[in-house]
Amino acid sequence: MAAWVTGTSALTCVGGNADALWRAAEQGVSGLKNGLGMIPDSVIEQSRAEFRENPAFAKTKLPESRSKELALIAFEQALRSAGWSGLNENDGLILATTTGQIPVWDKALTSYLRKTLSKEEFIAAFEHQPLGNLLSSLSEATGFSGRQLLISSACSASTQALAIASMWLEQGLVERCIVGGIEVLCDLTVQGFSCLQLLSQQASKPFDAYRSGINLAEGAAFLCLEKQSSERSQARLTGYGMTSDGYHMTAPHPEGKGCFLAMKSALNVADIELDQIDWIHAHGTGSTHNDQAEAAAIRTLYADQGVVLPWVSSSKWVHGHALGASGIVESVLCIEALKRQTILKTHGLETPDPSLALKHPNSNMKAPLRHILKNTLGFGGTNAALVWSQT
């Protein structure tokens, strides 16, 4: 199986498109401020201007909700990148998010409970509570009524969305598919992760012996997938694996059992051998639990196989952790890496944790890149892995 990527978009704290994301990752520029990765207003303003230049969206009003606006802007950017004029009835649309539009309704909810907000105002805000409201809004704004889905599987959501899109194409359910991940920052997630003592005030240091925690971030990215290769093809999605730990609500299995099984499954679907993987783009959040579990899973995958470990790195020091959107934001980096045949180092990594026993590149490296394994691990023991391959 293979799904061919013909278009990409990426709005992150380091810029408004895939190229800006790549440049930041290559040059070691972090977009994190006070430990968080907000998409800067200047990036959104520039992206709005580009959106308005597209005649196909000339009459489309950008929504007030930050999530909806970012979704629509990133959607249009990916379509433009792929040369698609719009979606047809036989196309598919899959969104991934965990927070949805929480900032639109969370304060209204508490105000209503305190009786400082009228029912009418509360109901108006609460319409945004279901995650599906984000998807229906995007569908309505783009006039799309074909096959659609919203996945909310924590930090593996958009990785799973790409896997499902691949299945839709493979099973002939859609002709083409656009997949997006959207995440915005809000008090609920920041305070929540903070009370779990997971957040770092500095940029994260994945796989470092002196790691400091994770950085929450915003992100909006889309990929356009097609069944056939074309002049616009940038990379191929050749493998996917989805598993569960069945272990803990917020911690991964300590031996990375589910993560190992997801990677193994992705390699099987891609029908490639371990020695064909040139780089593992890790989930690498910079939390102790994640680093240990993911490293254990990678070691298990390569144990007794007579194959040297490939390079392993994380890019979260650059763009932070965009939760449900992280898989697709980082897949954009994988696609750019395949185009440029370049392996990225882990910025922020100064003293590799010796207990992890992974192989980290000390600098960005030009190297033949055939296949990249992309991991995500999520709360609830939700794991997903993808194999990205060169065209």
Partner 1 sequence: MSKIYIVSAQVTEDPQNFLQEPRYRKATRAMVMANRSVEKTLEGLPREVVLQNCGFILGSCHGELEVTMNFLKTMSETGVARPILFQNSLHNSTTGFVSMSLKSNGPLLTVSNLHFTGEDALESAVCLLKSNSCDFCIVTTVEARVPELVEGLQETKLRSQYVGEGSGTVLLCNEKGLATLDRKPLAELMSVRCIRGAKENFVESTNYYESNAVERLALSLQANDRDLKLIKPDGSYSQIQWR
> Containing H/E element for 280?
strand 277-281
Q: What angle do CA 122, 38, 376 make, to 5 degrees?
A: 95
In the bound complex, what is the minimum distance in angstroms from residue 297's beta carbon to partner 1?
A: 12
Residue from the set 59, 61, 119, 366 that interacts with partner 1 by CB under 8 A: 119
In the bound complex, what is the minimum distance in angstroms from residue 327's beta carbon to partner 1?
A: 13
Nearer to partner 1, 265 or 314 (CB): 265
Residues 83-110 as b or e (16 or more Cβ within 10 Å = b) = ebeebeeebbbbbbbbbbbbbbbbebee
Q: How far is CA 381 from CA 19, 155, 242, 248, 262, in A?
A: 32, 10, 11, 7, 12
Question: Pseudo-torsion of CA 133, 135, 140, 146, nearest 10°?
Answer: -130
Residue from the set 382, 385, 388, 389 that interacts with partner 1 by CB under 8 A: 382
In 184-267, DSSP assigns E strands to 219-226, 235-244
Give the interface segment with partner 1, choosing from 51-59, 103-111, 273-281, 301-309 (CB under 8 A).
103-111
Closest by alpha carbon to 231, among 29, 72, 5, 74?
A: 5
- Give the separation between CA 272 and CA 283, rounded to whole angstroms: 21
**Contacting partner 1 within 136-165 (CB under 8 A):** 136, 145, 148-154, 157, 160, 164
Quote the tokens at residue 236.
């191929």
Residue from the set 60, 129, 202, 300 that interacts with partner 1 by CB under 8 A: 129
- Give the separation between CA 342 and CA 355, rounded to whole angstroms: 27
- Give the separation between CA 268 and CA 167, rounded to whole angstroms: 15
Closest by alpha carbon to 349, among 358, 359, 360, 357?
A: 360
Q: What are phi and psi of 177, to 5 degrees?
A: -145, 135
In the bound complex, what is the minimum distance in angstroms from residue 117's beta carbon to partner 1?
A: 10
Closest by alpha carbon to 238, among 273, 206, 207?
A: 273
In the bound complex, what is the minimum distance in angstroms from residue 123's beta carbon to partner 1?
A: 6
Number of residues that bind partner 1 (CB under 8 A): 61
Interface mask (CB under 8 A) for partner 1, residues 162-201, using x and -?
--x--xx-xx-x-------------xx--xxxxxx-----
Nearer to partner 1, 49 or 113 (CB): 113
In the bound complex, what is the minimum distance in angstroms from residue 238's beta carbon to partner 1?
A: 14
Nearer to partner 1, 251 or 344 (CB): 251
**Contacting partner 1 within 227-266 (CB under 8 A):** 242-250, 257-258, 261, 265
When asked if residue 130 is in the footprint of partner 1 (CB under 8 A), the reply is: yes
Nearer to partner 1, 29 or 379 (CB): 379
**Overall residue count recorded for the chain in this entry:** 391
Interface mask (CB under 8 A) for partner 1, residues 82-101, using x and -?
----------------x-x-
In the bound complex, what is the minimum distance in angstroms from residue 132's beta carbon to partner 1?
A: 4
User: In this structure, are residues 381 and 244 in contact, taking their beta carbons and an 8 Å threshold?
Assistant: yes
Question: Which residues are within 8 A (CB) of 21 and not within 5 positions of it... i.e. 6 or more apart?
Answer: 10, 12, 14, 15, 318, 319, 329, 332, 333, 336
Q: What are phi and psi of 186, to 5 degrees?
A: -150, 160
Nearer to partner 1, 206 or 256 (CB): 256
Nearer to partner 1, 53 or 187 (CB): 187
Give the interface segment with partner 1, choosing from 13-21, 42-50, 131-139, 329-337 (CB under 8 A).
131-139
In the bound complex, what is the minimum distance in angstroms from residue 68's beta carbon to partner 1?
A: 15
Nearer to partner 1, 160 or 292 (CB): 160
Interface mask (CB under 8 A) for partner 1, residues 21-60, using x and -?
----------------------------------------
The residues binding partner 1 (CB under 8 A) are 98, 100, 106, 109-110, 112-114, 119, 122-123, 126, 129-133, 135-136, 145, 148-154, 157, 160, 164, 167-168, 170-171, 173, 187-188, 191-196, 242-250, 257-258, 261, 265, 378-382
